[in-house]
A and B are shown apart, each in its own frame.
Chain A
């Protein structure tokens, strides 16, 4: 079900305007942006998953602040009945942090290489999608990054993934890079796992047919 439209987008997440005033999706819920083949970077399209990080209702015009409307007899929902312009002058928006994507038959739990396009629809994830996505829990690491910033670990992993592709899926280079990262992060086991997971080429990315990253 379409629940909003993206009005700000970045590598770590997006801000969407909710279709329903005062009803953003629940905090922490999983939402999805579906990219058709022509909009995404893959031939078969891509589903970007994100976790709702906040919701807020504000004036459509940032320079107009909301003011008190209630009287003894008109309050709560009745205010919206008696002041129908509120439905046109207020907006509810929500933020979401990207936690992974589904593309080429694979579910990945790291940041996608591109932010979702502006003005694309946001949908709530179906129960089946929630189940499938949360079978693995690597995505929880993405939620711990400071809001709006790409964590250095994700930048490191993204660089390795990009170069791996541009070197024509050079598995030897990837293994060397993994070893280098293991040396750099030898004192931070959790960080190392985060990066190794994020650079794992998986089945479809691994054209040389290699196994688990070292």
Chain B
């Protein structure tokens, strides 16, 4: 066992002690941050953010623009008596750079749960092996920009919504669609405009279909690590420029620096069970490409956890769709068998999407066998081969 647990154990103790020592101070700052959230003027903050945006003043953090108030809360309405929830999740077997054959597998799992007079459940997965140039490259004609890493993650999101689109063609009752994870594909931010355009094209097309069918779509993020609203409070407190903290001499400097460590899920811990916050706009740059499907978000107490829910603007600006979505999410969490709760539709979609280690090996063997039948041998790197053999 090469990992030396002795020193690690000592460091674990030190870490625990440090965390405990800081707790009272952190709690004090959190209370002050929540006071700030309640007292800040949402209109003035919005204007300040818009002004900074116009002046092209660089804000080094993601910030949230309040669509209405900062600390307003909305109780959950009741869901309709008959409705469905579709949960969707995806996983992949990524391309193996140690193999001579390039391919990847996408597996989109979905769960359609119907409640009311005719309860029903459909739990299925849509799997595909991607090996053709148009699947392997963003620009297949010149075999440029291979789909892997963050681009593969983006492909999974796109494929999820495509599968959702196909599924919803046969649904007649009121339905809410939940995607596990964000709708804001911020990982694409560092890609070129051309790459963003190719990957977002299908995503936005699927969103347009959902809008047409009147199915509210949401990205559900459990245990969110976002700080967008906390960062906005830093902007609110800031007397100078938000990227010149080292020169700051403000009285609020300690609170501002504390806000850098506070997560929005803690800031909104005051939400009562079932309540959601008002909507916020995100400053994520990739949203510039989303057009009418620009994504906003809110926080919600689902009964044991504050989650972040991302919605396209056409959901957020439609009172009925937003209310239905809010009610369905809370209803889902009340049906959850675990604590903190998690929507059963997403739990079952995950179960359908997950690819086990045994299945990964099986696909690999199938590929090797199929090629072997055509006299082709799959070559693996020496490094990978030695790791598999682990000879002594």
**Which residues of A line the B interface, CB within 8 A?**
61, 64, 67-69, 80-89
Contact = CB atoms under 8 A, between A and B. Distances in A.
Contact of A88 (B123, B335, B337, B338): B123
Contacts of A86: 121
B114 A84 contact: yes
Contact of A68 (B115, B123, B337, B351): B337
A82 B123 contact: no
A89 B348 contact: yes
Nearest to A69: B337
Interface of B: 111, 113-115, 119-123, 335, 337-338, 344, 348, 351
A87 B351 contact: no
A85 B123 contact: yes
Contact of B119 (A64, A67, A69, A81): A81
B113 A84 contact: yes
A86 B335 CA distance: 12
A84 B123 CA distance: 11
Given A67-B338, A83-B344, A88 B121 contact: yes
B335 A83 contact: yes
Nearest to A61: B351
A81 B113 CA distance: 11
Nearest to A86: B121
Given A61-B351, A89-B348, A82 B337 contact: no
Contact of A84 (B115, B337, B351): B115
Contacts of A82: 115, 119, 335
B344 A85 contact: yes
A67 B337 CA distance: 7
B185 to A, nearest CB: 29
A61 B122 CA distance: 16
A80 B351 CA distance: 19
Nearest to B122: A88
Contacts of B348: 85, 88-89
A69 B337 CA distance: 6
A191 to B, nearest CB: 45
A68 B337 CA distance: 7
9 contacts: A80-B119, A82-B335, A84-B114, A84-B121, A85-B113, A85-B123, A87-B121, A88-B121, A88-B122
B338 A84 contact: no
A85 B338 contact: no
A106 B111 CA distance: 50
Contacts of B123: 85, 88-89
Contacts of B344: 83, 85
A81 B82 CA distance: 12
A84 B344 CA distance: 10
Given A61-B351, A67-B338, A69-B337, 4 more contacts: A80-B119, A84-B113, A86-B121, A88-B121
Contacts of A89: 123, 348, 351
A85 B337 contact: no
A141 to B, nearest CB: 41
B111 A85 contact: yes
A57 to B, nearest CB: 16
Contacts of B115: 82, 84
Contacts of A68: 337
Nearest to A68: B337
Contacts of A83: 335, 337, 344
Nearest to B344: A85
A75 to B, nearest CB: 13
Nearest to A87: B121
Contacts of B119: 80-82, 84
Nearest to B331: A82
A74 to B, nearest CB: 9
Contacts of A61: 351
Contacts of B111: 85
Contacts of A80: 119
Contacts of A87: 121
> Most A CB atoms within 10 A — which of B120, B121, B338?
B121
Contacts of B121: 84-88
A203 to B, nearest CB: 51
3 smallest CB-CB distances across A and B, nearest first, come from: A84-B119, A84-B121, A85-B121
A64 B121 CA distance: 18
Nearest to B334: A71
A88 B124 CA distance: 10
> Most B CB atoms within 10 A — which of A61, A68, A80, A82?
A82
A81 B114 CA distance: 10
A8 to B, nearest CB: 19
B50 to A, nearest CB: 45
A190 to B, nearest CB: 47
Nearest to A67: B337
B215 to A, nearest CB: 19
B217 to A, nearest CB: 21
A89 B122 CA distance: 10
B3 to A, nearest CB: 27
A87 B123 CA distance: 10
A101 to B, nearest CB: 37
A71 to B, nearest CB: 9
Nearest to B117: A81
A154 B113 CA distance: 50
A73 to B, nearest CB: 11
A124 to B, nearest CB: 27
A65 to B, nearest CB: 11
Nearest to A80: B119
> Most A CB atoms within 10 A — which of B115, B119, B338?
B119
